[in-house]
A and B are shown apart, each in its own frame.
Chain A
Amino acid sequence: MTTMINVPETAAKGEIVEVKVLISHPMETGFRIGMDGARVPRDILHALVATYNGVEVYRVDIRPSVSANPFFAFHLRAEESGEVVIAWTNETGQTFAETRPITVT
């Protein structure tokens, strides 16, 4: 699925930086009634986890009330150069992950 992730490429040590994630996903709530009169089954993302050099910095328990094409912005304290890994899990339990580098000076 299409994803846009914005991790600042560089940061100063100790600086708190913002990370933005935008994921293409319908986030079907499971409550909608479709054009045929039947309920449209739930299809949402359930969890998102961000780790920075292996340390968890952010985790979301996602519920149907989160909008379609979900957007999350969060923060991390830059300590050392390395990578930020964003992983998310969908309705069928599949996990997807993207990695972005960060250089800390």
Chain B
Amino acid sequence: MIRAACLLLALALPLAAEERRSGYDDMTPELQQMQDDEFSNPGMLWVGEGEALWSAPAGAGDKACADCHGDAGDSMAGTAARYPAWDDELAAPVDLSGRVNLCRRRHQQAEPLERESREMLALTTFLTFQSRGQPIAPPEDPRLDPWRAEGEALFGTRMGQLNLACAACHDDNAGGHLLAALIPEGHPTGYPQYRLEWQDMGSLQRRFGNCLFGVRAEPFAPGAREYIALELYLKQRAAGMAVEAPAIRP
């Protein structure tokens, strides 16, 4: 309780220097360089594929994303930085992958993409890349507040056979070690990210699944409200930190 209050206070005060640590800050210089160098970052392969998909007609509507949105460098700059965002029709927040599938259904008459499919990750990586370097900017939308509160509650809820809450590691023990691994603060600055452990690109929800496996809890279903709520809370917690996607992480 006191810790949560301190965290809120710390985020509310204007900081002269960024005190929060991204997972980037906890990586070795070699991995930092791998992330920074756009010619050697494997995530850039997905950015290239996403760029091609952006202009490829899809679905019965035979429309490409570009047909409505034009040049993603213009239309999508800063967009991913403010997701998840409210969708009026659903009367619920959606994350970026959810938005892609809504667009596909509503405007392209195309089948939804699986969240961890190559195509979805290519598109979301390409889209998030248009916000690379920009601060995470959660919308000041009061409709998102109850969801953020739900996410914060989940973050502090003990789960799994190991009976650990996210906060137990990522608030209380960030900077410490779990076996040989340094415990990060858990800011979602780099998603979709190329995790060396996966040898592949993956979404934040894939990473959540790993965390839940880590505490021996059953993961939520893909696209579950719990994941959206968690992401909303984490983005608020990370507000102002730079988008790093596509990030490299061990």
Contacts and interface: CB of A to CB of B under 8 A. Distances in A.
Contacts of A3: 45
Interface in A22-37: 22, 24, 26-27
B49 interface: yes
B146 to A, nearest CB: 38
Given A2-B49, A6-B39, A67 B199 contact: yes
Contact of A69 (B42, B48, B49): B42
Interface in B178-197: 194
Contacts of A26: 199-200
B45 A71 contact: no
Nearest to A19: B39
B73 to A, nearest CB: 18
A4 B48 contact: yes
Contact of B45 (A20, A67, A69): A69
Contacts of B194: 69
Contacts of B161: none
Given A68-B199, A68-B200, A2 B48 contact: yes
Contacts of A20: 39-40
A57 interface: no
A73 B45 contact: no
A9 to B, nearest CB: 14
Interface in A46-69: 67-69
Contacts, number: 33
A6 B37 CA distance: 12
A22 B48 CA distance: 12
A20 B44 CA distance: 13
A71 B40 contact: yes
Contacts of B48: 2, 4
B199 A4 contact: no
Nearest to B34: A71
A22 B40 contact: yes
A80 B42 CA distance: 31
A20 B39 CA distance: 7
Most-contacted residue by chain B among A27, A67, A69, A71 (CB, 10 A): A69
A98 B194 CA distance: 25
A27 B196 CA distance: 13
A69 B45 CA distance: 9
A50 to B, nearest CB: 15
A57 B48 CA distance: 27
**A-B pairs with lowest CB-CB distance, top 9:** A68-B199, A69-B42, A24-B45, A20-B39, A6-B39, A2-B45, A71-B40, A2-B49, A2-B48
Given A24-B45, A71-B40, 19 more contacts: A2-B45, A2-B49, A4-B39, A4-B44, A4-B45, A4-B48, A6-B39, A20-B40, A22-B39, A22-B40, A22-B44, A22-B45, A67-B199, A68-B199, A69-B45, A69-B194, A69-B199, A71-B42, A73-B40
5 contacts: A22-B40, A24-B42, A26-B199, A67-B199, A69-B199
